[in-house]
Structure 1
């Protein structure tokens, strides 16, 4: 780390904004006397939810490509931003020493003063970044119903058919039906189906709706058919999920690239035109150039009209590649994450980081706060509905429709009927909701 500067701050009123590496990495503004969020308990989360190989220090803050300071003494905010941001994303650190923040970075950053606060500084920087990166204005997002948050990996054809009928019967304004995790034979085995995917896509389209799928294109589970058949396509350790170790697909290997083309050409030819690309951190493990090339390959294969939603993706290096982006951790049935780690599924974690990244909506892409779930089993469902209504650019329901009570059904209908335009939110909110 190289020291860049020292910023005088008011220890009582000063704030620091710490931007996380990927979709699930916590982002927030903190008092200058605090320490940013860190992984808890499971060390594998450093790879899966934070920035691999760049753990933050025990005290202070570490922003990935972005760190902002609001001194609190009336002087302008100071933004420390990656000079590149797409292929080179320095970690920027801040630590309090008496009445000054010592700012350090491990790569080239620009120091940008802004007369407004943190949120205004981030919005202005995003306008300049998108122009420099050649990001096109985002397209409107379709409204979605997703299988995940009720059926998880056990979705069946009968489940999809039941909800298609319920959506039509209740007049819900759903444009896309997205089949989430569970349709495939295994993680990495995307050319083989556990359910009859061609029949389900055909059924969805026959109902007058668009068909979407979830896929984690850069993950290969240990023991999968692909891992056994092509060990030469496997990259580094990508963590642990689905009760097994995960490998990253080495997208620099010509055979792996051809495999990606076959997978997405098949989905395209089935009639899928909405793709949730998940666990994308794995695609960046071989390097950011390889990551951007691999997403470009997918886009080329599915075509320019297909809608791409990224998730678990390195944020700044994804600019210009996606129509929409998950900007926080997964939602959960509970307010607090079970282990206290704010990269993990929960209402509080999803809300905190979604609010802190509100400035990205309509600039980098359409912001996805994660799905609306409002069945009675969801703790404090009213609060989560308010978050989705205020910060949800992409609106997706993920309840079993028949489980919704009157309030849940009416809330789902209302939020799906009126998604915001793909333009910046009018009043960027404060970037911190503290646990």
Structure 2
């Protein structure tokens, strides 16, 4: 029997044979995305924390059947691939479900869809990717979107220093970029520079002069980049304490819990509130005025969770409005990298996007969840979303980390190279051995970075 879900209507049926595959697309960057042999149980969150932070909060799919966000594909095992996608994939949050009933896959959805059937494609996952890429090209053309821009090369502080990064760590690696003749366009400061999550303009005690650091990066001929989670306010932040009315609300009142990380509860900032919008606009405008023109905006799925908003807007609409606010504040020439992002609702509003879970220094996720940091989880979803690269945006497979402490570093470097999207080094550059330095130099140069000062 097909899986019946309240609010979903049957929209398509596919006769299948041996070798059939079902492609399941995850809601946001970290949500597992891949094609499964029909009958294989799909990846699901192993904890409520993971579901809240890394999947779609409004959905609770079980392990029976396939649950996809915005687009689903079925390779029938006989040479055809059926792509079933939201009629408006970028501005809606249509969900799809597929389940088998005998020799038929039944697909249902909770909103309007379109169906495309393609034949003459390669067998297996290659055929699925080809059919999805054809759909993506058509969808962007119909939406009147501009051609995707390539991502600049970058060095990022995260995987070497984590949240303990210091100003002198960034300066040391900035100097190493020049000394080692690396083709790095952007030097990007990641999490750890702010006093709290949400208090972006208040530096931590490890950064005596954040603006001066930006000026130094630019003085060395590099572009300056910065990380922030614009839709989050940590419970310890001055933002949450002083402006509780700016936070997304439960329908019955009170701030809506949006997850837990950094050892604290997190709330979603309601950017439809005029005060919150003015504040966030001022944050990005300030950074932009300092000369920062590369913004890694993280955990931004928090902007699309259900809740009572000041404007009454639906979650996806509010999310897209928030991204437009950010774009307007930084200008069209700045590069915006979306991370932890609702993937399809971000199309046309970001320049590059993380297409997978975080990578890691180890191969497998500690908790076995394919949304959790690890090379296995990162490879899984980046391959599943490869069809998007250069069509919707530049795909970001996560950082190139190849130092001696990284497991399977040769395989990880090969994956980053094969993605053909963003190349962002995140090792401590002075600790690279000969192979790692040669590999980093080669991949940055191949991605089009400039080894000389601008």
Q: Could you say whether these structures have the same fold, taking a TM-score greater than 0.5 normalized by the shorter chain as the test?
A: yes
Match of 1:54 in 2: 59
Matches within 5 A, 1:252-263: 252-263=272-283
Deviation >4 Å, runs of 4+: none
Secondary structure of 2:195's counterpart equals strand
TM superposition shift of 1:279: 0.5
**1:130 equivalent in structure 2:** 140
- State the distance in 2 between where 1:219 and 1:174 align: 29
Q: Deviations over 1:336-375 (max 9, x none)?
A: 0000000111001001110111110110011100000000
Q: Distance in 2 between matches of 1:133 and 1:229?
A: 40
What are the superposed Cα offsets for residues 376-412 of structure 1, whole Å, 9 maximum, x if unpaired?
1111000000000100411100000011100000000
1:406 to 425, 434, 437: 434
Instruction: Give secondary structure in 2 for the equivalent of 1:101.
Output: strand
Q: Which residue of 2 aligns with 1:225?
A: 238
CA contact (8 A) 2:150 2:390 kept: no
Q: Which residue of the partner structure matches residue 119 of structure 1?
A: 129
Secondary structure of 1:23's counterpart equals coil
Matched, 1:292 2:305: no
**In the TM superposition, what is the alpha-carbon distance from 1:157 to its structure 2 partner?**
1.1
Q: What's the counterpart of residue 30 of structure 2?
A: 24
Partner of 2:113: 109
- CA spacing shift, 1:246–1:392, aligned 2, 3 Å: farther
Distance in 2 of aligned mates of 1:141 and 1:5: 37
User: Partner residue of 1:432?
Assistant: none
Mapping 1:187-206, distance limit 5 Å: 187-194=197-204, 195=207, 196-206=209-219
Matches within 5 A, 1:324-339: 324-339=352-367
Q: Does 1:321 align with 2:321?
A: no
Residue 132 of structure 1 and its aligned partner are, at CA, apart by 2.0
Match of 1:265 among 279, 285, 303: 285
Aligned-residue offset at 1:420: 7.1
> In the alignment, which residue of structure 1 is the partner of 2:175?
165
**Corresponding residue for 2:416?**
388
Q: Judge conservation of contact 1:127–1:363 (CA < 8 Å) in 2.
A: yes
Task: Provide structure 2 residue ranges, at least 5 long, that are not aligned to the other structure.
Answer: 1-7, 122-126, 249-255, 307-314, 450-454
Conserved in 1, the CA contact under 8 Å of 2:359 and 2:375? yes
Deviation of the 1:58 alpha carbon:
2.4
Normalising by structure 2, what TM-score? Answer: 0.90
1:420/1:120 CA distance change after superposition, 3 Å: farther
Corresponding residue of 2:3? none
Instruction: Give the C-alpha shift of residue 98 in structure 1.
Output: 1.9
Aligned pair count reads: 418
Distance in structure 2 (CA, Å) of the matches to 1:5 and 1:68? 11
User: Residue 6 of structure 1 corresponds to which residue in structure 2?
Assistant: 13
Aligned residues of 1:330 and 1:346 also touching (Cα < 8 A):
yes
1:44 equivalent to 2:49? Answer yes
Alignment of 1:346-361 (within 5 A): 346-361=374-389
Provide, for residues 57-95 of structure 1, a one-character-per-residue CA deviation record: whole Å limited to 9, x for no partner. Answer: 221211101110001023x21111001112222111111
Which residue in the other structure is 2:4 paired with? none
What residue in structure 2 maps to residue 428 of structure 1? none
Kindly indicate whether the alpha-carbon contact (under 8 Å) linking 1:393 and 1:420 is maintained by their aligned counterparts in 2: no
Q: 2:41 aligns with which of 16, 35, 42?
A: 35
Q: Take 2:112 and 2:52, find their aligned partners in 1: how far apart are those partners? A: 24
Aligned to 2:330: 302
What's the offset of the Cα at 1:223? 2.0
8 Å contact from structure 1 (residues 369, 392) kept in 2? no
Matched-pair contact (CA < 8 Å) for 2:260–2:266: yes
Contact between 1:47 and 1:53, CA under 8 Å: does it hold in 2?
no
* In 1, Cα distance between equivalents of 2:356 and 2:448: 18
Which secondary structure state, in structure 2, belongs to the residue aligned with residue 300 of structure 1?
helix
The CA deviation at 1:140 is 2.5
- Quote the Cα distance in structure 1 between the aligned partners of 2:148 and 2:58: 32
1:426 alignment counterpart: none
Q: What's the counterpart of residue 311 of structure 2?
A: none
- Greater shift after overlay, 127-136 or 215-224? 127-136
| Structure 2 SS opposite 1:375 | coil
Shift of 1:7: 1.5
Contact 2:30/2:372 (CA < 8 Å) preserved in 1?
A: yes
* SS class of match (2:162): helix
